[in-house]
Amino acid sequence: MGMRFKISRRQNPRRLHSGLVLLAAVGLSLVICALLLEQQGKPSLRGLMLLFQGAFGSGWALQDSLIKAVPIFLCSLGVAIAFRLQIWNIGAEGQYALGALGASWVALHFPDLPWFVLQPAMLVAATVCGGLWGLLPAVLKLRMRANEIIITLMLNYIAIFLLDYLVYGPWKDPSSFGFPMTRMFSQNAVVAKIGAGDLHWGILLCLVIGMLVWIFLGFTRLGYEIRACGENVQAARYARMPYAALVLLVMAASGALAGWAGFLEASASLNRLEPSIMAGYGYTAIVVAWLARLNPLFIGLAAFLLAGLRVGVEQLQLELQIPASFGQIMEGLILMTVLGGSFFVTYQIRLLKKE
Amino acid sequence: MDDLIFIVAITLKSSPAVLLASLGELISERGGILNLGVEGMMLVGALAGFVTARQSASLALGLCGAMAAAGLLALLHAFLCVHLRADQVISGLAVTILGTGLSSFLGRPFIGQTGLHFSSIGGTWIDGLPLIGPLLAQQNLFGLLCLAAVPALMYLLGRTWLGLYIRAAGQDPAAADAAGVPVAAIRYGCTLFGGCMAGLAGAYLSLAYTPGWKEGMTGGQGWIAIAMVIFATWHPLRALLGALLFGLLNALQFYFQATGIELIPAYILHMLPYLLTVGVLVLVTVLEKPVLGSVPGALGKPFSREE
């Protein structure tokens, strides 16, 4: 009965220790997922093996995972910039949709422009649309103190209805036999593939922008101010940091990056706009950003892993008839266990012996 | 006149889910725990309620099942937030992702199945009541009982020691702790209550409003409920107002569809509840300057004695 605990903050958290906690957390979620598969009468070990093979087991699988990682990476990078300032942008999904809309508008209206004009124009349109969709909640937060979590979420729903309206209505391809989709983009509007494989040049864009964001956040004055304001708004305001301007900046950047993801997905992956473009990348991006501790380099890795999870789950669907929502369960579990695990990284628990 | 009755009846019928969920969230937040998992808990509750009622042939057991399933998720959230001092925003999002995934994964065999449901109380002597008769006839017992939660929670928060404890735990946990309030237990209790209410809200959808299970059938009502708590400035009576406002928009949507009046294009109509929620959050600061004064002081902040 006389067991008592003392919980105190660790003085110097160690790398190895946090690595072990991370492993344990992911392991725990894998065990829970295996149990879930058993409960459904599916072979759990074979399931997890298939998942891994489907995601990373072959050249094709790796390539698929890499392609899917592109939109997740871009959305997540944006989300992370906002999270650094403790601005909870849950709206990557909507900003992504708006980016896709903007790019598609350009692609459908100016199909005959040469590619080196058309594609930059699409990128600009995606930047503007996504950025504005991100700026709106920032303005409402600053002027009206409206909670950005709720506003960005509501804007997600509104964006999806807007997209549906366009592809079911004015933008519908007359020769699509009633399917809700736009015309195919002209070849000039499609981001080209690298060599003979399926990888497109968007990957290069990701690498460049990832490096730029990494430098921006880590080595520039603005990046420092974003972090400082995020850690303590009062102190930062006292030091005359431009909090309001930073909020506008991070939300515009956040929205623009998600918009780029929408542009690449519409152009390179689907070659048109259709409702299936909304695959929940914007929500996965939040998981990725948090797992990567908002660090752009880790975001690349985490985006690749969670994209692999999605590709692997498709394999599970084919081989074992396991629904795609299994991947969502895994995402939720991993986020939850890692979140719980970070307690053991930050704090140490000592057992106090009773005298 | 008939049109008006139609609109009011549908308003009443489509608001209970948001009402229940926002009342639950209100108590949770009054205790200091922000719960962004409502949407996931509602989905899990909707599925569990439908399946339990179907298998046990009992609506009451269905409601219990919904509360139990969503309550379990709430306990998980409470454990992360209270004991593991996790970030409440991320934990809530994780709960929503997990709940959405679980409900869609486990609910697949039940899509399109029929089961028990609460039927409307019409077809009895109620129809004959003057004025309110035709209005009540379209309601069901579950939806009407939800209304009773409003005065009950007003009484609980305002007039009882438990209400005082809850408000203290959410306002200033350190002072409450010093005064002997079991802050951790109160916060667990409030979060659990919020989860059970979210479960009931989901069950209202799957057992009364649109009987049956459909993937993602909440359509963001959990998030709208969270917004309504802000609109309500943490008071149960105004949460009712918010829920009715949501119901009214739904009713107008039905009305325009039923009468074929194309005043507003259908897609804009679908957007209205979400636009309204944005509007409501903006409005609340315009109308009421000191709104921040009514935010529970320690909302979203973990509490521990050592720090």
Q: For residue range B236-283, list pLDDT tens digits in order.
A: 999 999 999 999 988 888 888 777 776 677 777 788 888 988 988 888
The pLDDT value recorded for residue B233 is: 86
- Reported as a single tens digit per residue, the pLDDT across A324-349 is 899 999 999 999 999 999 888 888 88
Least confident of A322-336, B91-105, B124-138, B156-170: B124-138
A336 touches chain B (CB under 8 A): yes
Across the strands, what pairs with A302? Answer: none
The pLDDT value recorded for residue B288 is: 66
Here the tokens at position A64 are 């698929």
Chain centre distance of CA B269: 22
Q: Which residues contact B260 (CB under 8 A, 6 or more apart)?
A: none
Here the tokens at position A283 are 């929500």
Domain boundaries, chain A: 73-291
Q: Measured between CB atoms, which of A88, A144, A329 is closest to B285?
A: A144
Q: Measured between CB atoms, which of A147, A153, A343 is closest to B84?
A: A343
* Residue of A32, A85, A150, A334 to mutate when probing chain B, most B C-beta within 10 A: A150
For residue A284, the number of C-alpha atoms closer than 13 Å in the C-beta half-sphere is 29
Cβ of A340 and B80 within 8 Å? Answer: yes
Cβ of A332 and B94 within 8 Å? Answer: yes
Per-residue b or e along A153-183, where b marks 16 or more CB atoms closer than 10 Å to that residue's CB: bbbbbbbbbbbbbbbeeebbbeeeeeebbbb
- In the predicted model, is pLDDT for residue A99 greater than 90? yes
The pLDDT value recorded for residue A1 is: 45
- Reported as a single tens digit per residue, the pLDDT across B56-103 is 999 999 999 999 999 999 999 999 999 999 999 999 999 999 999 999
> What count of CB pairs under 8 Å joins A to B?
130
Please give the DSSP secondary-structure letter assigned to residue A115.
H
A38 touches chain B (CB under 8 A): no
The pLDDT value recorded for residue A252 is: 97
Contact A103, A114 (CB under 8 A): no
The pLDDT value recorded for residue B267 is: 77
Residue whose token pair is 């008769």:
B133
Q: Which of helix, strand or coil describes residue A9?
A: strand
> Amino acid identity, residue A278?
M
Q: Tell me the CA distances in angstroms from B15 to A25, A256, B3, B136, B205, one per residue in order.
A: 40, 36, 18, 14, 10
- In the predicted model, is pLDDT for residue A353 greater than 70? no
For residues A104 and A100, give the distance between their C-alpha atoms in angstroms, rounded to a whole number: 6
Per the model's pLDDT, the better-predicted residue between B104 and B115 turns out to be B104
- In the predicted model, is pLDDT for residue A147 greater than 90? no
* Residue of A39, A325, A344 to mutate when probing chain B, most B C-beta within 10 A: A325
Cβ of B220 and A153 within 8 Å? Answer: yes
- Reported as a single tens digit per residue, the pLDDT across B177-229 is 999 999 999 999 999 999 999 999 999 999 999 999 999 999 899 999 998 89
Q: Taking CA atoms, what residue in B is nearest to A330?
A: B98
For residues A55 and A139, give the distance between their C-alpha atoms in angstroms, rounded to a whole number: 41
- In the predicted model, is pLDDT for residue A213 greater than 90? yes
Q: List the one residue out of B28, B30, B181 whose CA is nearest residue B91.
A: B28
Question: Can you tell me the mean pLDDT for A78-102?
Answer: 96
Model confidence, pTM: 0.91
Residues of chain B contacting A140 with CB distance shorter than 8 Å: 278, 281-282
Question: Can you tell me the mean pLDDT for B144-148?
Answer: 92
Here the tokens at position B262 are 């194309």
For chain A, helix, strand, coil in percent to 5 are 75, 5, 25
Task: State how far residue B164 is from chain A, nearest Cα, in angstroms.
Answer: 27
- Reported as a single tens digit per residue, the pLDDT across A293-327 is 899 999 999 999 999 999 999 989 998 999 989 99
Cα torsion A160, A83, B173, B232: sign: negative
- In the predicted model, is pLDDT for residue B293 greater than 60? no
Contact A275, A164 (CB under 8 A): yes
Set out the domains of chain B in order of their start, with CATH numbers. 2-294 (1.10.3470)
- In the predicted model, is pLDDT for residue B167 greater than 90? yes
Here the tokens at position A90 are 């849950």
Cβ of A149 and B89 within 8 Å? Answer: yes
Contact A141, A151 (CB under 8 A): yes
Q: List the one residue out of B182, B201, B189 whose CA is nearest residue B156.
A: B189
In this structure, chain A runs to a length of 355
Q: List the one residue out of A308, A22, A252 whose CA is nearest residue A130.
A: A252
Here the tokens at position A248 are 């506008």
Q: Measured between CB atoms, which of A7, A287, A326 is closest to B306?
A: A7
> Amino acid identity, residue A36?
L
Question: Can you tell me the mean pLDDT for B113-133?
Answer: 79
Q: Tell me the CA distances in angstroms from B141 to B102, B206, B237, one per residue in order.
A: 29, 15, 20
Average pLDDT, rounded, for chain A: 91
Cβ of A146 and B281 within 8 Å? Answer: yes
Cβ of B267 and A155 within 8 Å? Answer: no
Our CA angle for B219, B224, B230, nearest 5°, is: 170
Residues of chain B contacting A157 with CB distance shorter than 8 Å: 220, 271, 274
Band (A109; pLDDT cuts 50, 70, 90): very high
Task: State how far residue A92 is from chain B, nearest Cα, in angstroms.
Answer: 14
The pLDDT value recorded for residue B307 is: 57
Chain centre distance of CA A30: 21
Residue whose token pair is 């119901």:
B247
